[in-house]
Amino acid sequence: MSLADVLERAAEALPDLADTIRPANGDPDRLLDSLAAADARTLLGWLLAESPAAGEELAMAWADSPRGSEPIGALSDESLGKAGRKALRRARHRLRSRGVAVAEAAPTPRVASLPRLDDELAAALVSTPDPSGAQLVVIVEASPAGGARIFQGGADLERGVPDFQVFATTRSQARGLLRDLEANPQLGAVRTSRESLAALLATAAAAQPPGRALPPAFEEWRSRVARPAAGARCPGAEARDALGASGDLTAARSVAERVAAGEIGPWPPALEALREIGEKVRQAASSPLLVDEAQRREHVEAVVAEALDARYAEPAGERTAQRFEETAYVAWRRERLDEAHALLAAAQAFRDRAPRDNPVARALLDRVLEPVLEALREERDRSPVVRP
């Protein structure tokens, strides 16, 4: 995206400066001549935060101008991402190489204060795990350059961080996004604390497969969104702490019924593991050595029991328990307490029971194997009955 295009985005995000930004037509010198010092600093800060490449282009152009040292030197880099901070350092280096003294901004004093409860732009949302196991995570915060900054991505306790994006928007658009997400019954997004969401993202990032890199935007902003304070807990753990862990097997079985009905899960294993399980079940069900249907069913059950133990061996069993706790957190925040207690009982079943004796684990695996089993049933129905 060209500097002119990014400046147009800036004009939309900074309406108070739009009448000064647009007439310059993307010319850095005209912009610097037209903007007051504080406004130039605000605009440069927005570009470095939201589009570091365009921000660096503007900063380098201003570094060649006599007036450029003030906004470049006075801009604080505390709210910038890694790329933005590097771009600002390069612009300051160019000023110094020209013999221009740069008085950098002093660090902003930090004073502990209570959060503003009415600040709609300070929000963190999390959803229940989708059928693949990924949760939607959204962080909205006020941008230091005006408007709002949104972090949006996925957190999968078994597969890491599949996607992550950062973008700028207006405050009204940010508030609209929050309303839409919370009102969407399919997503089930609810508010949580920023620290809890950071703990969830950090836990998911630790599960990232070795062969797949974390999304670039996540890596750039990781220190801001996934560095929880000591003792921070994931949302699901907060639900367990508040409501207590339950070993109620009847409640767990009610969750297994919901899994079987397609309301929760199935959170399948990785594709290679899924293929291996499916092939073992197919071979067991179609073995020519088993002519008696009862023997065939018994053999399939034995293979499924082994598959359950393999699928939910640690750490997969604990991660599945955590997924049920994350689902319980959303039910708890939406004041569905009976549902939340049942989901916590399902989570506890993965800690208290062997996978082959866990009705919730069996329901999840049955859902995953359903296409394989259905294909086998159709194959047997088409096959002629051969009698001795």
The tens digit of pLDDT for each residue in 98-136 reads 788 776 555 545 444 444 433 447 899 999 999 999 999
Supply the DSSP symbol for 160: B
Taking all residues of the chain, what is their mean pLDDT, rounded to a whole number?
87
pLDDT at residue 355 above 80? yes
Average pLDDT in the 281-289 region? 68
Q: Is residue 214 domain-shared with residue 282, that is, in the same domain?
A: no
Average pLDDT in the 337-348 region? 97
User: Residue 377 belongs to what domain range?
Assistant: 237-382
How far is residue 306's CA from residue 161's CA, in Å, rounded to a whole number?
Answer: 30
How far is residue 186's CA from residue 127's CA, in Å, rounded to a whole number?
Answer: 9
- Give domain status of residue 107, yes or no: no
H/E element, 365:
helix 359-382
Q: Is residue 247 domain-shared with residue 375, that is, in the same domain?
A: yes
- Predicted confidence at residue 382, as pLDDT, reads 60
Q: Is residue 250 domain-shared with residue 329, that is, in the same domain?
A: yes
- Predicted confidence at residue 250, as pLDDT, reads 96
Query: 218-249: per-residue pLDDT in tens?
Result: 999 999 999 999 999 999 999 999 999 888 99
H/E element, 374:
helix 359-382
How far is residue 43's CA from residue 50's CA, in Å, rounded to a whole number?
Answer: 11
- Predicted confidence at residue 110, as pLDDT, reads 45
* The amino acid at 62: W
Q: Is residue 64 domain-shared with residue 184, that is, in the same domain?
A: no
Query: 9-20: per-residue pLDDT in tens?
Result: 888 888 888 888
Q: Is residue 309 domain-shared with residue 203, that is, in the same domain?
A: no
Q: Is residue 92 domain-shared with residue 195, that is, in the same domain?
A: no
pLDDT at residue 386 above 60? no
- Give domain status of residue 7, yes or no: yes
- Predicted confidence at residue 387, as pLDDT, reads 43
Provide the domain count of the chain: 3
pLDDT at residue 59 above 50? yes
- Predicted confidence at residue 161, as pLDDT, reads 98
How far is residue 233's CA from residue 239's CA, in Å, rounded to a whole number?
Answer: 10
How far is residue 38's CA from residue 104's CA, in Å, rounded to a whole number?
Answer: 14
Greatest distance between any 2 Cα atoms in the chain:
100
Query: 255-282: per-residue pLDDT in tens?
Result: 999 999 999 999 999 888 888 887 877 7
- Predicted confidence at residue 287, as pLDDT, reads 66
- Give domain status of residue 387, yes or no: no
- Give domain status of residue 330, yes or no: yes
Domain end position, chosen among 29, 63, 97: 97
Query: Helix (H, G, I), strand (E, B), or coil: what is residue 302?
Result: helix
